[in-house]
């Protein structure tokens, strides 16, 4: 695989995972999601309008999320996203996959030259 | 967009929306959807703006910062991807999300698939070759099937053309089907209400004298209406007019395109010229177009005229006309049948003098297409079924290959799933790959097809009732494409379904898939299926082989070995007197008999198993049976004195004809044992009498002087009608077949004998020069062809199945290499390990054999009509197929197993 593209795919994959994780506890609206990503990553990750909403729509189309307009007293209505059953399953598997992947990458990248193992 | 009360809207609100709407306008979204997105994004910008303001940012700056996000071109790009489903290509198919454009997914899958196939040239080559064999065989057989069975006949409204036959079941032969006599044709014409037209055809062979080199051509005397009925027009000149079919007026001929080209150099001034047909001068009035030949292979047509004698009551039994009819517009086939049943009943009533009632007379109506191809229908469909089974086995093999490769690609699959590919998307990619493979296989198959077809046509030219071209037709191309696509999906489905279920994280963790998982179960299921399918084909081929052997065992009633045969036809114009005919044959046989290498020579009007017959009613002089049983339908043969000895037809009682049975001597006859046993069981028939025709006929009595063995005149499969011979000298016939028994290879004498004929009459063509063994061979040619083809397909199936079994066995042994090593390190003997592997492998083979046996028992019924003296459940054929398959499977399992046990256990164990 070409490294540049792999990077891109990686980010895309992880972005999904981030959003699904944030919606696990309760439904949230778009702005809230973007704030939480920014806060919890200490500003390392930022999702702007341009990347966040298309991704939300994409996940919604896949049936992993469901968006719903909610009106609260004294506020304008907002669109809240919640995880679907399928989304929960995907989250579980992606979370597992991600952890495994990270472990695998760590195991390889943290290895200093030990000489080649007998294949 | 939903209505919203004015108080909720802050002063900035409309301008956010305008900004957003301007940017989204390029997307051309549905208005409702666009409003929704605009509202949601506006809410986001508003939140951001308020936050910035709260943090103390100035109004203008906060506004600029909030709008900054919107100016990112990614927004429109990404939204376009999600909302309009127009996708760019992600690197790994399946990682892009499943709802993107199907077309761009397909393009991407195709590119990816091609790359994968190119990366494994070995795998690709094996798979493509396997499929090419399977698909190529299917295309070839389909081409034949299409050309022969499916394509409509080349006449206007061919479904309205019907062949008319008469049936006389009472003769005692099943489905005894006869042509029509001239009086019967006249009855049909007068009584029916359903035919727009009825045409009669009388086909024969004629001597055509062209530029001193005589040749024998196939000619037909036909009703003038035949051409119009078939929508055929002459390309040069005209066809016949009704007046030309009047007695004494028939002096015109129409030539086939082929004959015109070959014998007359395609001369355009041929019309109006005179040619000699059977030494009679005839005027050429027309030339037919290239494709027209009805009846098949006709080279020259003449008008068919009925003389008063043809229509006399005596002629009612002369069933010598082929009759073709065209149904009136608006009349259905069922109505025609009802109408002709009525005609048949009327004929029985109107002609009590003819034994219609006794013989259970009926009129048979066969649609022309059925009539033309009826004989080859079952064999062709059986072969089509057989090649389909071969293709299924090829599919199983390729599916196996794909499964093995899928195991090798589990890691790749796992990465894709981790990156967000859905199972559906993965399956689609795998199916695209397998379909690509099968399309390549189909393409390679198409390249093979003309070769296969060439061979097929060469093998079967004489046994197929319609012309098959060796090129690839449009329907065959469409068929190949459909089969290729279907095959790709079929064999790609197993690996694709499997990939959809794969537990990817296990793979990422351990670097390999779980051992013995669903993939192995699938592989074993495929082995079972392959074994079962092969068994069905082997059983089918075995049954046909057994039938063929049984047929060859049939005693035809004569000894064909070493006998040469050829036909001669003396033209009436030159040999008008019986004594001329007698003198010619007597001189010829004397001359031939004196040739070195000739053991015996004789002549008969029609040789056995040639496909030609002459038969009619005979009347037996006996009081032992009621009158109506004294008139059997018998096969008549005129034979010379040497005929029986030359053919090896043995004498049961009495004597053969001899020179004393001359034209002046008392009329004598020889009958076969069937006739003798029917009328004089346990008595001596010698000295009894019979005559030709019914009991009212004035034909002279003939005394029986000999009884000979029954000869299979018509087919080897069944006994023929009872047989009556009379001496050629007493009933001279101009058209005879010579039979010559030779010491060596009969064909080596052919030229010498032909020279002997031209020494007597240089204008006389000799035709159908063949050995009697060849004649017998040709009578079973269709059966032999079906056998050869089915055997080839069964062999192909066996080969493919053994490769498949070998592949799965090798794979599972390699997977268990460690276990085998461990067992051997712990002291297991080689034979024990072999037994273990073999036991496991053979259990699947046995399952396959069981299923195959059941399927074979069901399916071989379908070829029941192709079998002879063998039951569909023939234990020898089924047992043979099981044994052969078991032996091959045993080898296919033992070879890899043996290899595994020879590996040093230490090496195996260290491997991990």
ipTM for the complex shown: 0.84
- B91, B422, B508: residue with CB nearest A1: B91
What is the chain A residue with the closest CA to B96? Answer: A9
Residue from B51, B52, B69 whose CB has the most chain A CBs within 10 Å, to mutate: B69
Residue B6: predicted pLDDT: 39
Give the whole-angstrom CA distance, residue B96 versus residue A8. Answer: 11
The rounded average pLDDT for each run of 10 residues, N- to C-terminus, in chain B (912 residues) is 42 74 82 86 89 88 85 82 56 44 72 80 86 90 89 89 86 68 93 94 77 75 93 92 86 91 87 87 92 86 89 82 93 94 93 84 90 84 91 88 75 69 76 88 90 84 77 88 88 74 52 52 86 92 91 91 92 87 94 92 93 82 81 88 95 94 93 92 92 84 95 86 91 91 90 90 87 89 86 91 86 80 82 85 91 90 86 90 93 86 71 51
**A53 contacts B37? CB cut-off 8 A:** yes
Give the whole-angstrom CA distance, residue B566 versus residue B607. Answer: 10
Chain A residue numbers with beta carbons less than 8 Å from the beta carbon of B82 are 54, 57-58, 61
User: Do the domain assignments include residue A114?
Assistant: no
Give the whole-angstrom CA distance, residue B409 versus residue B695. Answer: 87
Q: Is B602 exposed, middle or buried (0-12, 13-18, 19+ CB in 10 A)?
A: buried
User: Do the domain assignments include residue A116?
Assistant: no
Q: Is the pLDDT confidence value at A74 over 90? A: no
Residue B195: predicted pLDDT: 94
Hey, is the C-beta of A89 within 8 angstroms of any chain B C-beta? no
Q: Which region among A1-5, A67-71, B184-188 has the lowest average model confidence (pLDDT)?
A: A1-5
User: Do the domain assignments include residue A94?
Assistant: yes
User: Do the domain assignments include residue A58?
Assistant: yes
**B70 contacts A100? CB cut-off 8 A:** no
Q: What SS3 string covers B644-710?
A: HHHHCCCEEEECCCCCCCCCCCCCEEEEEHHHHHHHCCCCCCCCCEEEECCCCCCCCCEEEEEEECC
User: Do the domain assignments include residue A51?
Assistant: yes
What is the chain A residue with the closest CA to B2? Answer: A77
User: Do the domain assignments include residue A97?
Assistant: yes
**B47 contacts A31? CB cut-off 8 A:** yes
User: Do the domain assignments include residue A119?
Assistant: no
Give the whole-angstrom CA distance, residue B140 versus residue B137. Answer: 5
Q: Is the pLDDT confidence value at A10 over 60? A: no
Q: Is B736 exposed, middle or buried (0-12, 13-18, 19+ CB in 10 A)?
A: buried
Nearest to B390 by CA among B851, B884, B800: B800
Give the whole-angstrom CA distance, residue A38 versus residue A19. Answer: 12
Confidence grade of residue A12 (pLDDT, cut at 50, 70, 90): low
Hey, is the C-beta of A63 within 8 angstroms of any chain B C-beta? no
Residue A4: predicted pLDDT: 41
Chain A residue numbers with beta carbons less than 8 Å from the beta carbon of B8 are 76
The string of pLDDT tens digits covering residues A39-60 is 888 877 777 888 889 889 988 9
User: Do the domain assignments include residue A68?
Assistant: yes
CATH code of residue A26: 1.10.10.10
Chain B residue numbers with beta carbons less than 8 Å from the beta carbon of A4 are none
Confidence grade of residue A111 (pLDDT, cut at 50, 70, 90): low
Q: At what angle do helices B59-68 and B31-54 cross, to 10 degrees?
A: 140
The residues, any chain, with a CB within 8 Å of residue B22's CB and separated by 6 or more, are none
Domains: count for chain A:
1
**B418 contacts A13? CB cut-off 8 A:** yes
What is the chain B residue with the closest CA to A57? Answer: B82
- B4, B78, B91: residue with CB nearest A9: B91
Residue B103: predicted pLDDT: 66
Give, in order, the Cα–Cα distances in Å from B758 to each of B564, B574, B600: 17, 15, 20
**Touching B: A residues 7-46, CB under 8 Å:** 8-10, 12-13, 16, 29-31, 34
Chain A residue numbers with beta carbons less than 8 Å from the beta carbon of B43 are 29-31, 76, 78-79
Chain B residue numbers with beta carbons less than 8 Å from the beta carbon of A7 are none
Chain A residue numbers with beta carbons less than 8 Å from the beta carbon of B41 are 49, 53
Residue B851: predicted pLDDT: 94
Q: Which domain range does residue A65 map to?
A: 3-107
Closest-CA distance of chain A to residue B82, Å: 6
Pure H helices in B419-517: 423-460, 474-501, 504-510
Count the neighbouring beta carbons within 10 Å of the beta carbon of residue B826. 8
What is the chain B residue with the closest CA to A96? Answer: B505
């Amino acid at each position: 695989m070409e490294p540049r593209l792999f990077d891109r795919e990686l980010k895309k994959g992880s972005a999904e995972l981030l959003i699904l994780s944030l919606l696990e506890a309760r439904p949230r609206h778009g702005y809230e999601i973007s704030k939480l990503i920014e806060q919890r990553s200490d500003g390392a990750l930022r999702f702007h309008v341009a990347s966040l909403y298309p991704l939300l729509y994409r996940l919604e189309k896949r049936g992993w999320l469901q968006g719903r307009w909610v009106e609260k007293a004294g506020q304008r209505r907002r669109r809240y996203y919640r995880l679907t059953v399928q989304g929960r399953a995907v989250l579980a598997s992606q979370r597992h996959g991600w952890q495994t992947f990270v472990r695998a990458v760590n195991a390889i990248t943290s290895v200093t030259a030990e000489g080649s193992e007998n294949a | 967009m939903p209505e919203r009360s004015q108080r909720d809207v802050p002063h900035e609100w409309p301008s956010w929306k305008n900004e957003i709407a301007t940017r989204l306008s390029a997307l051309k979204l549905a208005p409702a959807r666009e409003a929704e997105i605009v509202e949601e994004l506006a809410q986001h910008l508003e939140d951001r703006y308020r936050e910035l303001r709260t943090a103390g940012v100035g109004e203008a700056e906060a506004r600029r910062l909030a709008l900054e996000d919107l100016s990112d071109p990614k927004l429109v790009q990404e939204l376009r991807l999600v909302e309009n489903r127009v996708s760019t290509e992600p690197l790994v198919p399946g990682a892009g999300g499943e709802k993107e454009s199907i077309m761009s997914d397909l393009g991407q899958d195709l590119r990816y698939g091609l790359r994968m196939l190119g990366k494994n040239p070995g795998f690709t080559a094996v798979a493509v070759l396997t499929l090419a064999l399977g698909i190529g065989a299917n295309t070839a057989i389909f081409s034949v099937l299409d050309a022969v069975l499916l394509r409509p006949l080349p006449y206007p409204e061919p479904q309205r053309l019907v062949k008319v036959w008469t049936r006389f079941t009472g003769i005692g032969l099943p489905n005894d089907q006869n042509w029509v006599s001239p009086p019967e044709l006249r009855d049909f014409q007068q009584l029916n209400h359903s035919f727009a037209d009825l045409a009669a055809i009388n086909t024969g062979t004629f001597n055509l004298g062209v530029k001193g080199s005589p040749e024998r051509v196939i000619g037909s005397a036909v009703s003038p209406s035949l051409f119009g009925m078939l929508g055929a027009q002459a390309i040069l000149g005209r066809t016949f007019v009704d007046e030309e079919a009047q007695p004494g007026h028939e002096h015109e001929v129409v030539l086939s395109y082929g004959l015109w080209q070959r014998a007359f150099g395609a001369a355009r001034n041929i019309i109006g010229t005179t040619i000699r047909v059977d030494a009679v001068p005839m005027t050429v009035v027309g030339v037919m177009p290239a494709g027209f030949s009805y009846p098949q292979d006709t080279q020259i047509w003449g008008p068919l005229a009925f003389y008063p004698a043809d229509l006399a009551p005596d002629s009612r039994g002369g069933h010598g006309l082929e009759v073709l009819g065209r149904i009136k517009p608006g009349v259905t086939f069922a109505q025609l049948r009802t109408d002709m049943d009525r005609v048949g009943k009327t004929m029985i009533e109107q002609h009590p003098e003819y034994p219609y009632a006794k013989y259970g007379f009926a009129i048979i109506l066969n649609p022309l297409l059925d009539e033309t191809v009826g004989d080859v229908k079952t064999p062709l469909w059986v072969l089509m079924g057989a090649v389909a089974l071969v293709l299924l086995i090829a599919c199983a093999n390729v599916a196996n290959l794909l499964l093995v490769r899928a195991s090798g690609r589990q890691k790749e699959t796992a990465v894709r799933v981790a990156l967000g590919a859905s199972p559906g998307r993965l399956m689609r990619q795998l199916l695209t790959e397998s379909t690509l493979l099968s399309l390549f296989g189909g393409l390679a198959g198409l390249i093979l097809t003309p070769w296969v077809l060439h061979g097929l046509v060469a093998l079967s030219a004489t046994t197929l009732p319609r012309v098959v071209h060796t090129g690839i037709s449009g329907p065959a191309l469409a068929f190949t494409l459909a089969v290729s696509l279907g095959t790709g999906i079929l064999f790609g489905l197993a690996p694709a379904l499997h990939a959809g279920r794969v537990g990817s994280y296990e793979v990422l963790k351990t670097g390999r898939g779980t051992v013995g998982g669903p993939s192995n179960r699938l592989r074993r299921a495929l082995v079972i299926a392959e074994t079962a399918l092969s068994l069905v084909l082997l059983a089918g081929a075995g049954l046909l082989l057994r039938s063929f052997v049984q047929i060859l065992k049939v005693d035809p009633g004569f000894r064909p070995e070493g006998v040469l045969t050829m036909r001669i036809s003396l033209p009436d114009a030159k040999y008008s007197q019986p004594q001329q005919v007698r003198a010619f044959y007597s001189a010829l046989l004397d001359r031939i008999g004196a040739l070195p290498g000739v053991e015996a020579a004789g002549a008969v009007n029609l040789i056995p198993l040639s496909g030609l017959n002459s038969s009619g009613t005979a009347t037996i002089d006996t009081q032992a049976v009621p009158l109506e049983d004294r008139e059997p339908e018998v096969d008549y043969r005129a034979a010379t004195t040497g005929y029986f000895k030359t053919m090896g037809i043995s004498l049961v009682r009495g004597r053969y004809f001899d020179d004393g049975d001359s034209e002046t001597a008392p009329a004598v006859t020889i009958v076969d044992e069937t006739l003798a046993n029917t009328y004089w069981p346990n008595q001596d028939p010698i000295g009894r009498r019979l005559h030709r025709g019914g009991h009212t006929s004035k034909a002279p009595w003939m005394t029986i002087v000999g009884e000979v063995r029954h000869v299979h005149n018509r087919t080897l499969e069944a006994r023929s009608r009872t047989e009556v011979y009379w001496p050629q000298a007493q009933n001279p016939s101009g058209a005879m077949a010579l039979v010559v028994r030779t010491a060596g290879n009969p064909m080596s004498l052919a030229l010498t004998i032909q020279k002997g004929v031209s020494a007597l009459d240089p204008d006389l063509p000799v035709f159908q020069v063949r050995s009697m063994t060849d004649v017998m061979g040709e009578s079973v040619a269709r059966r032999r062809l079906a056998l050869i083809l089915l055997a080839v397909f069964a062999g192909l199936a066996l080969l493919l199945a053994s490769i498949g079994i070998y592949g799965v066995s090798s794979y599972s042994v390699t997977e268990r290499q460690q276990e085998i090593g461990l067992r051997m390190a712990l002291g297991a003997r080689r034979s024990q390990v072999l037994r273990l592997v073999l036991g496991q492998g053979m259990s699947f083979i046995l399952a396959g054999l069981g299923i195959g046996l059941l399927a074979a028992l069901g399916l071989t019924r379908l070829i029941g009509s192709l079998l002879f003296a063998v039951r569909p459940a023939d234990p020898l054929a089924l047992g043979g197929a099981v044994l052969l398959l078991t032996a091959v499977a045993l080898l296919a399992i033992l070879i890899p197993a043996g290899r595994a046990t020879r590996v040093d256990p230490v090496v195996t164990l260290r491997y991990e």
